[in-house]
Amino acid sequence: MIGVKAHVLRYWETQFKMLRPKKGRGGARMYRKRDVEVLFEVKQLLYDHRFTIAGARRKLLDDRGSKEQMELTFARTDREEMLRSLRRDMEGLLTLLQSSANGSRARARK
């Protein structure tokens, strides 16, 4: 289906951790739809785009991370409360930094 020999698939399984086909009772590998999609991507990266194994692995992991991220939406009131809380935290940090800087200046004058 992928167009590569079995030993190549076995090697790719050792190099790409996202490839983990289930094994049946007789030890035969059973690839899920996602496994087949990854195999096609690996083949395309290695054969068509001339990536190295490490480069293909990095590309797949980068792509995978961006696909799994999703935007969380907040209600307006939640957003406003988060901003108020952030502002309080930042003002507290600013006060702490200013008092620390004033103390350093006072020690430097002595």
Average pLDDT rounded to a whole number, residues 16-26: 91
Q: Whose CA is closest to 36, among 59, 12, 62?
A: 12
CATH class of the domain at 6-68: mainly alpha
Q: Does the structure show a pLDDT above 80 at 103?
A: no
Could you state, in order of their start, the residue ranges of all structural domains in the chain?
Answer: 6-68, 72-110
Distance in Å from the first CA to the final CA of the chain? 80
Region label for 67, one of left (φ > 0), alpha (ψ between -120 and 50) or beta (otherwise):
alpha
Q: Which residue has the higher pLDDT, 108 or 12?
A: 12
Alpha-carbon distance 65 to 79, whole Å?
Answer: 25
pTM of the model: 0.56
Mean pLDDT over residues 78-94, rounded? 90
Summary mean pLDDT of the chain: 87
Residue 93 has pLDDT above 80, yes or no: yes
- Paired tokens of 105: 């200046």
